[in-house]
Amino acid sequence: MKLAELTLITTNEGKYLEIIDALEGTGVSIRRIDREYPEIQADTLESVVGFGLNYLKPFVPGPFIIDDSGLFVDALGGFPGVYSSYAFRTIGNEGILTLLKGKGNRRASFRTVLGMVHEGKEHFFRGECRGYISELPKGVNGFGFDPIFVPEGREMTFAEMSVQMKNDISHRGMALRRLKNFLVNHGTLS
Ligand code: IMP
């Protein structure tokens, strides 16, 4: 059966805009539910997403997706990683820049795990984008750590890019392409 509607549960407007853009032209309309759900303290994005899917299942009729992402900084042993949300609320972009002061290695990656419940089953789609942390915040687009992250091979931060440009190379864009492939291969997309 063709998938006409996919529910996205997120309070994050930026994620919503990126997901809408990536799935444009697929014929699937995104219905957003703007609500929080419990995010457990765990070592992996997959565990956080898995818990969220199970928690939400009884409340959401039909197929739905959630997104959990994080910024993993090499010189900080992968911090903030699964603690990205807490780190952003507390130390923010300036705090990450301070932690990296004097460090030669500014390499980092963004990772996304998209979780979907479709026909009662759970599916996970992953995406990663390598890059580095800029010296100063730049740009006004996007959200979260976008002003301090420069993807590999580029000279602009994510916050200096349009939604489409970011989706072409980002962790979330990659996870969404994998989701789209899954839907095409399972005959739920034309
Ligand atoms: P969440 O738990 O997936 O909502 O995200 C953890 C933290 O990482 C939040 O502070 C987000 O703002 C931030 N974040 C998630 N995805 C991105 C992104 O694509 N760009 C910049 N920051 C992000």
Which tokens is 160 given? 């200096």
The full DSSP string for 78-104 is: T-BGGGHHHHHHHTHHHHHHHHTTT-S
The answer, yes or no, to whether the previous bond of 147 is cis (omega within 30 of 0) is no
**Rounded distance from Cα 2 to ligand 1 centre (Å):** 31
The residue ranges of DSSP E strands in the chain, in sequence order, are: 5-9, 29-33, 64-73, 107-118, 121-133, 149-151
User: 0.95 exceeded by the pTM?
Assistant: yes
Residue 172 falls inside a structural domain: yes
Contact 189, 183 (CB under 8 A): yes
| Residue at 128 is within a domain | yes
- Output the CA 187–ligand 1 centroid distance in Å: 31
Give 92's Cβ-side CA count (13 Å radius): 5
Q: Is 177 helix (H, G, I), strand (E, B) or coil?
A: helix
User: Which residue segment(s) compose the domain that 100 sits in?
Assistant: 5-185
Residue 101 lies in a domain: yes
Domain count, the chain: 1
- Whose C-alpha lies nearest to ligand 1, atom 6? 85
Per-residue CA distances from 119 to 5, 92, 146, 188 (Å): 13, 39, 34, 11
Q: How confident is the model at residue 188 (pLDDT cuts 50, 70, 90)?
A: confident
Mean pLDDT over residues 151-174, rounded? 98
Ligand 1, atom 10, residue with closest C-alpha: 85
CATH of the domain at 72: 3.90.950.10
pLDDT one-digit tens code per residue, 130-154: 999 999 999 999 999 999 999 999 9
Catalytic status, residue 168 = no
69 located within any domain: yes
Name the β-bridge partners of 80. 72
Give a yes or no: residue 38 inside a domain.
yes
Q: Name which residue sits closest to atom 14 of ligand 1, judged by CA.
A: 144
Give me the catalytic one of 67, 68, 74, 168. Answer: 68
pLDDT in tens, 59-109: 999 999 999 999 999 999 999 999 999 999 999 999 999 999 999 999 999
* In a domain? residue 190: no
Tokens 């996007």 found at = 142
- Residue 22 located in a structural domain: yes
Tell how far the Cα of 3 is from the centroid of ligand 1, in angstroms: 27
| Residue 148 is assigned to a structural domain of this protein | yes
What is the pLDDT confidence band of residue 1, given thresholds at 50, 70 and 90? Answer: low
* Rounded-to-integer distance, Cα 185 and Cα 190, Å: 10
